[in-house]
Each structure stands twice: as structure tokens, then as C-alpha cells.
A and B are shown apart, each in its own frame.
Chain A
Amino acid sequence: MNPLYINPTDETPNVILDPANNKFAFVGNSYPENSTKFYTPILNWMREFIDQSQTFDLAIEFNFDYFNTSSAKYILEILRLIQEHQNKGNKCTIRWYYFEDDTDMLEAGEDYQMTINVPFEIVERSE
């Protein structure tokens, strides 16, 4: 399956979904004017990937500086797809980064951790 790469902008994250190199990451800001338009191709790619990849252990990183509330909904959808992939017997891990002092991003990670039943590591990073 072809990888999905999206270059970052001020308001959208760098997206790396690359099974061949086993690299899955979201890095940067996420506050697009229209979150549906930005996240729909990503969700479509993820769905196709989990449909096609019956056995594939998946480790994914979320390294956001900031995301708005409408992105929050789509991040949850991505996490739900990862859980679905795990439920098929694949080993999945999520790594959630937050800057030291950024309690909002820490809490956001904790909220997702409580919602999703996938090994979920929260990691502090320094500026």
C-alpha cells in the first residue's frame, strides 16, 4: 500500500503513514479551518490500511504542539481505528508526546488514554 505523507503547515500537522518503513506519526499543529476536509483522506487511508493489513504490528506517535477541538474528534477516530486493528490480533502501541509545562496536552493524552483500550504511553519532551 502506498504511504501517505502530508507536509506540515502552520495549522496542519506533518502526517507520516508509511507501512514499508514502519513509521506512523502526526507532528505539529492541528487547527485547520475545516477539519473534515483535512482528516477525511487520513481516515480513509487508515481504514484501507487496516482492511488490507491483517497482520501488522503498529506503533504510532502523536506529537502535537496544539490541536483544536474539531481536530480532537478526528484524533479520537484515528485512535478508534488503531483499536480496531488491535482487536484483530495485531500488537498496537500509541506514544503521546507533550511539552513540559503543557498540562493541557498532558490532560488531552490522559483523556484519550482512558477512552482507548490500546497500550498508550505519555512522554514528556523538553523545548
Chain B
Amino acid sequence: MNNAIINSIINVMELKMKEMGERPPAIKKLNQILIECCQNLIHHSEKPHNGAINEYPAVIISQIDDGIHIQTRNLVAREKAERLKTYIDKINTMSQEGLREYYQSVLTNGQISAHGGGGLGLLNIIRKAKDTKLHYTFDPANDEELYFNLSFII
């Protein structure tokens, strides 16, 4: 996945949203969250082995009664999974105001990684999610890796 693919996804979703009669702010919000999710997948996925299609990062967008359901799936190293789990459990307990304060503190004090990531991706996503909750599961993939399934509603 790269930015060219992200832009294609955004263009398709923009057309779909317009067909569904959605207003520009809702379309913009979906675009923003898709960019953040997909760039997370680009920067944090393990590479697929032997081109196995099910090991490539995936994003599923569906309309449900409550809003728009977004699911992502990617391969992560097992040692990363525990850190991810602890981190999501922690931010899932925070209120909208608490998340804003935490975002502010990571923004002003955090380090920038080699690809320019600032450790803010999931925080940005949860701030836009309904009820400020992220749902996740880990499925076994192989001895070293797990599938990380993330889902939320906006």
C-alpha cells in the first residue's frame, strides 16, 4: 500500500458518499480517517511472505445503522502485539477531553520516528471514533506474527 492507493480509495469513497447524499463535512471526516488508518498500515505492517494475498494490509468500510464501520487488518510482530494491546486498553479508558490532553502532551513532547510518525495515529483515530472506543483482536498468523484486526465506528 502507498499514497497512490490511498488516494484511489479516497476518490472511490468520495463518489460513493456523494451518491449516498452525504454532506461535505462527513465526506471529509471519512477521508481524514482513511488516510490516517492507511498510513498506519503502511508504516506498521510486517511484509507479506511469498506474496500471500491474505497477509497484505486490508481496510473494509461498511455503512451500518450507527454510522460507518471501519475495519483494518495487518500483520504485526508478536512482540509488538502486547505493546499495542496495552496502549489501546489505556486510551480506551480515556474521555474525549482526556484524549485531547494526552494528544497535546504527545504532540509537544514526543519524538518523531524515521518515517515522520509521531505516535499520534491511533490517538487521532480514537478521537474521531464513536464513543471514543477502538475494538481489536489478534489472530495467529505464524510463529513470529499475528494478524491485528482493528475496528471502530465513526
Contact = CB atoms under 8 A, between A and B. Distances in A.
Contacts, number: 81
Interface residues of A, number: 29
B2 A73 contact: no
- Give the interface SS of chain B, mostly helix, strand, loop or mixed: helix
Interface of A: 10-11, 31-39, 65-66, 68-74, 76, 101-102, 104, 107, 111, 114-115, 127
B118 interface: yes
Nearest to A66: B32
B151 to A, nearest CB: 20
11 contacts: A32-B116, A33-B39, A38-B116, A68-B124, A69-B117, A101-B25, A104-B32, A111-B100, A111-B104, A114-B104, A115-B108
A70 B124 CA distance: 11
Interface string B4-31: 0011000000000000000011001101
